[in-house]
A and B are shown apart, each in its own frame.
Chain A
Amino acid sequence: MQISSVLEDGSYIISIDGDVDASSSIKLDEAIAQAVADGQSDILINCENLNYISSAGLGVFMSYIEELKAKNIRMVLFGLSERVENVFKVLGLDQLLNIVETKDQAKQRTHE
């Protein structure tokens, strides 16, 4: 799995490429922690190339929910495949995270 973080038109985007399993979830955790430490107010997660996410990966997103809320940081996930989105939905994380279809929608969401 590859993780890359870029600043694009003022939006901080973390792109995930590949599978997020127990071992690679650590890299995802580090990337989000870095974004939070940098003081970003909006974090976009590009899931266009996210193939599979394990419970450990879901655990990473889950563990930031309360912290982001407290620091008033918005995190938006976009580009999820149907299968990956269903995993979030089954667990109920769709109720707590912002999940949109496209990057534009995600940028829009952060500017609301």
Chain B
Amino acid sequence: MLASSGIIRFTIASAIVCWLGLCLVDLMIGFEIRNANVELGVPRFLSIILLTGYIVSLFYHYKYRLATADNFNFVELLWRVFVTGLIATIVSVFIQFFLSFVVSGSKLAQHELLLSLLYHINIGLILAFVISTFLVWKKLVLYQKTKALLRTWQVFEYSFLASLLFHFVPHVRFDLPFSLIFAFLVALGLVISPNLKWIAFLNFKQKWKSILLILLILLYLCYFLFYLLDQKDNELLISDLTSHVSVLAIYTFIILYAISSLLVTLFNLPTTSVFEQKLEEVVNFQRLSQSTHTGQNQDEIYDLLLESSMSATFANAAWFELNHKTNGEGMITKSIKPADIEKIRAALKEQNPKKSKRTGVTSRVSNQNSTLVENIKHSYFKSVLVYPLEVQNEKIGTMVLLKEVSDGFNNDVVNIVNTFGNQAAVSIENHRLLQSAIENERYLEELSIAKRVHESLLPSTLECNEYFDITAYSKPADEVGGDYYDTHRISEDKFALIIGDVSGKGTSAAFNMSQMKGVFHSLAQIDMDPQEFLVKANEALGRCLERTSFITLSYFILDTREKSVMFSRAGHCPSLYFQQSKSKLEFLKSKGLGLGIIRNQEYSNYVEVNRFNIGTGDLLVMYTDGITEAKNPMGEEFGYERLKQVVSDNINKSAVEIQKAIVQGLLDFTQVGEIEDDFTTMILKFR
């Protein structure tokens, strides 16, 4: 299959060749007729073949040329036809002028060869004009085509091409077969002619242009028709187009369609503005519905709503005000002064309680608050339409449209405003949803950063030496938590251990926890006893904790040379201690108070230091209340006794194994994958 550009080039070449051939052949035949003694032996049908070839070439040339132009507008198409016609006419008129004035009276004017050549130039141009017009008309006819219309057109087109064959049969103009074919083609043309949908889509200006162009095209067509009729009896010219049924038929069709287009366009002129109005409404509606996708902000949507409503209702002025309670201030005004707005507001307030006329239309369109339509007493504006814009049952603003005439807003107009309003509401809602989705995304991103920071706050390795093993496990309930554990090696044999819990959960707890870490690492370096540590930590943290926040913690100092432990408890859940020598497992009870509860020097009265000795096999289980307060589906807490039982059952295992047993026991108990609070354990076993 040839590419369409190839076909276009090939057809123009073949058209030129056919035309040249036609000239030559006709000249020769003419010469034969004039000079009876000359026998050139050129058969008559050769002329018909070449003429048919010329017509078919042109037909396919324009067919493909127009097919490639997909994005056309109607006026542009008419313009093409007009230009083709103009060129043809100018050339033709020039030839006439040349014959009448330049060479008139001279011998040259009577020269058959010259006359014949000029005639052929003329018919070449006329055919080009007629065929291109025919194919442009095809494009117009088939605009918004139906299947039936397309079929009819194809029948018409193929009948036209088939009728070209008729010329090989000898005939006389308007004998019976000629008339039948002509009548058939013209009848089909008549059936097709009323397809003028394209005219509806022209705006006012385009319609005027079209009328002008069609008139000129008709003028050319008449001019050519007269020319052909004038030449029809000249036998010497051989190729007479008026006795050519196909050409005559489509010539008739072109004129018919041009006339019907002209009349319909003319009669459509007065209603154009209504059609344009409807089209604009559709476009505005589309703009409103797509405003979310195009990334417009809410103010632009309000503006669009106001403009669309104004143009749909032919309002003279309008304003839009946002509901101050929810959206801060915002006001869009169109062709109205603030002073007038105040006056109209006052007028509305005065009239409203007495005779507010709620339109029944609105309740049918939506269940929204109804639109108010009424006449007002104002020097300039006589009627008003008040539309409350609601998004998800929340009134976010009011649109007011004004007209200089009374009773200016009818039910149709109210319906349109409602439709616009509903669409604007949907767009605003979408806009908000999108906005909140973006914010949510940002929040999640921040949380993941907080999570990384939080993880870096907990130690990656724990300090220890050859006398003990230590392990820890912590799991926050959310991305970040408030549990804290850490170790610090004070000297070769001395270690500080801490486990703590910041009240609350989530980001604020994690923030306080980071302060706790700072306090621990500053104070643990100074070798102070646990009570002193708590007093100092209370003082430091008391200054930065919120009023209702507190921290609980247990602080241990382990001395592996003296084999002793000192500890203080600041309101933290008591740690479990197993003494191997006595086979005794118990909670380390002691006086204590959470950090931040009393934020003055009195705090030291509420805490104490405890000291005990440790031996091989002894075990210290530190944990946070996330473990003891974990609940099962029945609402029971894991509690101290269950924890003690799990440790007791695994008492001879290593620190890591005991930790695993605790976590497993906890998960088995709660029966759900998630534990509501942060939970942490740190387990220390002496070798």
Q: Does A3 contact B (CB under 8 A)?
A: no
Question: Are B594 and A63 in contact, with the CB atoms below 8 A?
Answer: no
Q: Does A108 contact B (CB under 8 A)?
A: no
Contacts A63-B548, A91-B571 hold; do A56 and B597 have CB atoms under 8 A apart? Answer: no
Q: Does B550 contact A (CB under 8 A)?
A: yes
Determine the distance from Cα of A83 to Cα of B503 in the docked complex, in whole angstroms.
19
Q: Does A55 contact B (CB under 8 A)?
A: yes
Q: Does A37 contact B (CB under 8 A)?
A: no
Q: Does B622 contact A (CB under 8 A)?
A: no
CB distance from B446 to the nearest CB of A (A): 20
Total residues of chain B contacting the partner, CB 8 A: 25
Question: Are A91 and B548 in contact, with the CB atoms below 8 A?
Answer: no
Q: Does B188 contact A (CB under 8 A)?
A: no
| B548 touches which of A59, A83, A95, A96 (Cβ 8 Å) | A59
| A92 touches which of B503, B504, B593 (Cβ 8 Å) | B593
CB distance from A50 to the nearest CB of B (A): 14
Closest to B505 in A: A22
Question: Are A56 and B598 in contact, with the CB atoms below 8 A?
Answer: no
Determine the distance from Cα of A55 to Cα of B597 in the docked complex, in whole angstroms.
12
Question: Are A59 and B593 in contact, with the CB atoms below 8 A?
Answer: no
Chain A 87-104 interface 0/1 with B at a Cβ cutoff of 8 Å (1 = within): 000111101100000000
Question: Are A65 and B548 in contact, with the CB atoms below 8 A?
Answer: no
Question: Are B504 and A65 in contact, with the CB atoms below 8 A?
Answer: no
Closest to B545 in A: A59
Closest to A83 in B: B637
Question: Are B598 and A91 in contact, with the CB atoms below 8 A?
Answer: no
- Which residues between 521 and 575 of chain B lie within 8 Å of chain A, taking CB atoms? 547-550, 552, 570-574
| A93 touches which of B505, B547, B596, B597 (Cβ 8 Å) | B597
Contacts A55-B550, A63-B547 hold; do A90 and B504 have CB atoms under 8 A apart? Answer: no
Determine the distance from Cα of A92 to Cα of B570 in the docked complex, in whole angstroms.
8
CB distance from B410 to the nearest CB of A (A): 53
B625 neighbours in A (Cβ, 8 Å): 90
Question: Are B504 and A56 in contact, with the CB atoms below 8 A?
Answer: yes
Q: Does A60 contact B (CB under 8 A)?
A: yes
Q: Does A58 contact B (CB under 8 A)?
A: yes
Q: Does B606 contact A (CB under 8 A)?
A: yes
Q: Does B592 contact A (CB under 8 A)?
A: yes
CB distance from A54 to the nearest CB of B (A): 8
- Which residues between 48 and 89 of chain A lie within 8 Å of chain B, taking CB atoms? 55-56, 58-60, 62-63, 65-66, 83
A63 neighbours in B (Cβ, 8 Å): 547-548
Question: Are B550 and A90 in contact, with the CB atoms below 8 A?
Answer: no
Question: Are A90 and B573 in contact, with the CB atoms below 8 A?
Answer: yes
Question: Are B571 and A65 in contact, with the CB atoms below 8 A?
Answer: no
Question: Are A90 and B574 in contact, with the CB atoms below 8 A?
Answer: yes
Question: Are A95 and B593 in contact, with the CB atoms below 8 A?
Answer: yes
Question: Are A62 and B550 in contact, with the CB atoms below 8 A?
Answer: yes
Determine the distance from Cα of A58 to Cα of B549 in the docked complex, in whole angstroms.
9
Q: Does B591 contact A (CB under 8 A)?
A: yes
Contacts A83-B637, A92-B594, A95-B593 hold; do A59 and B574 have CB atoms under 8 A apart? Answer: no
B592 neighbours in A (Cβ, 8 Å): 92
| B591 touches which of A55, A65, A92, A96 (Cβ 8 Å) | A92
Contacts A65-B598, A91-B571 hold; do A60 and B548 have CB atoms under 8 A apart? Answer: yes
Question: Are B549 and A59 in contact, with the CB atoms below 8 A?
Answer: yes
B637 neighbours in A (Cβ, 8 Å): 83
B550 neighbours in A (Cβ, 8 Å): 55, 58-59, 62, 91
Chain A 22-58 interface 0/1 with B at a Cβ cutoff of 8 Å (1 = within): 1001000100000000000000000000000001101
CB distance from A25 to the nearest CB of B (A): 8
Determine the distance from Cα of A65 to Cα of B574 in the docked complex, in whole angstroms.
24
Contacts A59-B549, A60-B548, A83-B637 hold; do A91 and B593 have CB atoms under 8 A apart? Answer: yes
A92 neighbours in B (Cβ, 8 Å): 570-571, 591-594, 597, 606
- Which residues between 368 and 405 of chain B lie within 8 Å of chain A, taking CB atoms? none
CB distance from B364 to the nearest CB of A (A): 43
Closest to B594 in A: A91
Contacts A83-B637, A96-B598 hold; do A90 and B547 have CB atoms under 8 A apart? Answer: no
Question: Are B503 and A59 in contact, with the CB atoms below 8 A?
Answer: yes
Chain B 587-611 interface 0/1 with A at a Cβ cutoff of 8 Å (1 = within): 0000111101111000000100000
Determine the distance from Cα of A54 to Cα of B263 in the docked complex, in whole angstroms.
86
B548 neighbours in A (Cβ, 8 Å): 25, 29, 56, 59-60, 62-63
Q: Which residues of B contact A (CB under 8 A)?
A: 501, 503-505, 547-550, 552, 570-574, 591-594, 596-599, 606, 625, 637
Q: Can you name 15 A-B residue pairings with CB atoms under 8 Å?
A: A56-B503, A56-B504, A59-B503, A59-B547, A62-B548, A63-B548, A65-B597, A66-B599, A83-B637, A91-B593, A92-B570, A92-B597, A93-B594, A95-B591, A96-B597
Q: Which residues of A contact B (CB under 8 A)?
A: 22, 25, 29, 55-56, 58-60, 62-63, 65-66, 83, 90-93, 95-96
Task: Using A55-B504, A65-B597 as known contacts, list a sample of 19 further A-B pairs with CB atoms less than 8 Å apart, ordered by residue number in A.
Answer: A22-B505, A55-B501, A55-B550, A58-B550, A59-B547, A59-B548, A59-B550, A62-B548, A83-B637, A90-B573, A91-B593, A91-B594, A91-B597, A92-B570, A92-B571, A92-B593, A93-B593, A93-B594, A96-B606
